[in-house]
Structure 1
């Protein structure tokens, strides 16, 4: 359908479209993602028909030649309907990885906007429908996704501090087009939707029509399978949570002896849950059993690991650790009172103690290991090589290289006063530190 023209008059909404948006969960702010296309136009108008406090959100990816025309169209529709609109222009960064194409990069940029806008209790509605769900399930199936991917798009989930809701997942694209044409609505077409260069468009134009003709109940069948996968995924996650409680130590690492008692599938399930729970993408390994077996059974002098995007799982002294990739400062930093310092996973602060030091503010330097450092764990006692002390504390090798070392600097020398969050000199700790200043070192997951 051609674009342009005035917004249609009030619509006599059918129950199958209006019902899912009439009774929404409680919210603080209600938003609708509005691209200007048929689906989001219909949803915005349906929501506005029963919720006068709705706000439209248009994300302009600046990828299509008509992106300015589309943005103007969205503004005009909202002006006609007296709906406030938030327009965000984003720059889509496409990664060098072939798996990260324009579609995925645009989706990431779009959801970053939604995530930022959502406050506590806010609700964002999106116009995904039944055909979108089928495309998603087939697309993930062809990419080799597990049951979490084959569960498709959830009807609702957390988004930022609020919630995302897809009220029309049970409605077909044909039904939306029927209602739009009956009411002579006008919308904007995304030129890229016609290009079968993109996998989803190929499924939409070349595969789905034949499948729907052969199996008229395709949308319902796929939706049923997706729900079954979602239920299985929920059970897997619950099992992993229970086994995490049995195998985890301090909530940050797995005891290898306890992990060994799990079955082959349980081990894999727990590791995948752990990776996902820490916010990383689960690696698409074709040989999970072999990799996990090597992780568990390798000799003590080996260093097996599972690598993923931004992290790896490593073994040390009968423990498994999920280690994020992180960039640390390459030079030492000065810690200034009232100015917390972020150092990798750690945050360091220098605050006044209960007794004010007569010597003023000390010079405190933070750095990583350079070699040859010594620590005096007990005041007045002998000093020891830091390398030996870290080994005795069971600190994994990769942690030793990342730990922030805190030094008190004087004119003639400097003294190590803290080692990450593992140890701090009595002079800078306790309720009344002798130095008059308290050093606070906290890790992100403490």
Structure 2
């Protein structure tokens, strides 16, 4: 049915059957109950579509039957559909009837990010998920979605990990753990439950756009396959489990290999790495990138990385980049470095603040006596933070001569790709302090004198402003 509020779907009402609901309730109960021992706050990513509506409704009934959880819902307003506001209203009314708290996360999807609208929307959604205040965030993907995912990824040339499809549980870099309680449930079972409960839902018009490859698989390819292979969805979902098991075994092999090739600093020793067979070296590289939170690389990238690593030596400065970061060789060790936000390109004035952001990192300034930089000397000129421009010198030890930063960085073992990101504290035109090297002797604090000690804190999390409406994904 259609209305000015957007397209809605509804199942005809009728007598409740005893066959479908217990199956769905039993699956959900078995999945959710053991996890609640590690946190009771359970959120459902509510798009307003059939799947997420059924998931929230079924969980609310389990809660009423004694499931010990704090149930809430989250809706992401992407603003991509003319019906987006109507979907918010539907979710608000649905949650009101279920007595479930609803949070709304409003995002702006950049149209020209270069990654496509779907990928950009997914990235914005994940950022909202990371701010969700819950222990568990439940997504409503089901067995048919899993089958589509496996087929889609295989057609794109995915490896074992990609062909494993969607996990039923995974952590995020921040925020609650993501769970998919319905991965073992078919779309038909979900639709039957909606019919038994006379539920209504909204339909996202983009789901019918066959120009989108996932939609083409769902509406054209998989139904055609099902004519010859009626159990195709179950078979593909079962294959995902086999691939997941194989991926786990490959991870365990990579962990064993890592112990064999790790060096004194906890990084992979290049010479030992190059003694591995090509297949095990590839597997270990994939494992290292995954541990660093980077996506699986293309085969041609792995080929190039292995070629360069095979010919590298202790003096090499090998760098093979991906969209997520880079692989470096420095002093006979392999470094995996994630892509990081840019650091300031213009000098950043310091007026005595206790903290200053430095890209994704943070500088902490602590008052001290007889240590650090002399506050008296810093008062002689304007103080700022900047990166090196070339030719700067420092004298960390008053007993040794002033030397170029380049030489000091080399002696301290600071990798080349880090040197241009490190902050320098300058008083006027003079360098008073360099991260990773210390205070210049000319600015050192005398005994009993007021000073300031600076520390660079790596990977500071961005501050989340209070009052932000919170999150979900279309499901």
Corresponding position of 1:124: 137
User: CA–CA distance in 1 between the matches of 2:282 and 2:352?
Assistant: 46
2:26 alignment partner, one of 14, 19, 22: 19
User: In structure 1, the residue corresponding to 2:201 is in which secondary structure?
Assistant: coil
User: Conserved in 2, the CA contact under 8 Å of 1:94 and 1:102?
Assistant: yes
Corresponding position of 2:45: 33
Q: Does residue 58 of structure 1 match 2:71?
A: no
Corresponding position of 2:164: 151
User: In structure 2, the residue corresponding to 1:117 is in which secondary structure?
Assistant: coil
User: CA–CA distance in 2 between the matches of 1:67 and 1:325?
Assistant: 33
- Once the two structures are superposed, the pairs formed by residues 169-180 of structure 1 within 5 Å of their partners are 169-180=183-194
Corresponding position of 1:72: 89
User: CA–CA distance in 2 between the matches of 1:372 and 1:198?
Assistant: 54
User: CA–CA distance in 1 between the matches of 2:303 and 2:355?
Assistant: 44
Gaps of 5+ in 2: 3-7, 65-69, 461-475
**What is the deviation of 1:125?**
1.6
**What is the deviation of 1:396?**
3.6
1:90 alignment partner, one of 107, 115, 121: 107
Q: Does residue 101 of structure 1 match 2:116?
A: yes
* Alignment root-mean-square deviation, CA: 3.2
* Residues 72, 354 of structure 1: alpha-carbon distance in 2 compared, 3 angstrom cutoff: same
User: Conserved in 2, the CA contact under 8 Å of 1:57 and 1:85?
Assistant: yes
Corresponding position of 2:282: 268
Q: Residue by residue, what CA displacement relative to the aligned partner does 1:368-402 show, whole Å, maximum 9, x if unpaired?
A: 22222222232143222333333344444333333
User: In structure 1, the residue corresponding to 2:300 is in which secondary structure?
Assistant: coil
User: In structure 1, the residue corresponding to 2:108 is in which secondary structure?
Assistant: coil
* Residues 110, 401 of structure 1: alpha-carbon distance in 2 compared, 3 angstrom cutoff: closer
Gaps of 5+ in 1: none
User: Conserved in 2, the CA contact under 8 Å of 1:421 and 1:441?
Assistant: no
**What is the deviation of 1:306?**
1.7
User: Conserved in 1, the CA contact under 8 Å of 2:354 and 2:366?
Assistant: no
* Residues 177, 299 of structure 1: alpha-carbon distance in 2 compared, 3 angstrom cutoff: same
* Residues 205, 334 of structure 1: alpha-carbon distance in 2 compared, 3 angstrom cutoff: same
**What is the deviation of 1:250?**
3.3
- Once the two structures are superposed, the pairs formed by residues 21-420 of structure 1 within 5 Å of their partners are 21-23=28-30, 24=32, 25-26=35-36, 27-52=39-64, 53-97=70-114, 100-119=115-134, 122-159=135-172, 160-245=174-259, 246-248=261-263, 250-251=265-266, 253-286=267-300, 288-298=302-312, 303-323=317-337, 324=339, 326-344=341-359, 346-355=361-370, 359=376, 362=379, 364-409=383-428, 414=430, 416-420=431-435
* Residues 167, 390 of structure 1: alpha-carbon distance in 2 compared, 3 angstrom cutoff: closer
Q: Residue by residue, what CA displacement relative to the aligned partner does 1:71-105 show, whole Å, maximum 9, x if unpaired?
A: 222222222222222222322224554xx332222
Q: Which has the higher mean CA deviation after the structures are superposed, 385-394 or 351-360?
A: 351-360
User: Conserved in 2, the CA contact under 8 Å of 1:211 and 1:218?
Assistant: yes
Q: Which has the higher mean CA deviation after the structures are superposed, 195-204 or 63-72?
A: 63-72
* Residues 423, 177 of structure 1: alpha-carbon distance in 2 compared, 3 angstrom cutoff: same
* Residues 344, 92 of structure 1: alpha-carbon distance in 2 compared, 3 angstrom cutoff: closer
User: Conserved in 1, the CA contact under 8 Å of 2:289 and 2:295?
Assistant: yes
User: CA–CA distance in 2 between the matches of 1:138 and 1:354?
Assistant: 65
Q: Which has the higher contact order (CA 8 A, sep 6+)?
A: 2
User: Conserved in 1, the CA contact under 8 Å of 2:45 and 2:139?
Assistant: yes
User: Conserved in 2, the CA contact under 8 Å of 1:281 and 1:308?
Assistant: no
User: CA–CA distance in 1 between the matches of 2:305 and 2:370?
Assistant: 55
User: In structure 1, the residue corresponding to 2:100 is in which secondary structure?
Assistant: coil
User: Conserved in 2, the CA contact under 8 Å of 1:335 and 1:350?
Assistant: no
User: Conserved in 1, the CA contact under 8 Å of 2:378 and 2:427?
Assistant: no
Q: Residue by residue, what CA displacement relative to the aligned partner does 1:212-251 show, whole Å, maximum 9, x if unpaired?
A: 2322222332122111211222222233334444425534
**What is the deviation of 1:418?**
3.1
User: Conserved in 2, the CA contact under 8 Å of 1:426 and 1:433?
Assistant: no
Q: TM-score, normalised by structure 2?
A: 0.81
Q: How many residues align?
A: 436
User: CA–CA distance in 2 between the matches of 1:184 and 1:153?
Assistant: 30
**What is the deviation of 1:441?**
2.6
User: Conserved in 1, the CA contact under 8 Å of 2:74 and 2:102?
Assistant: yes
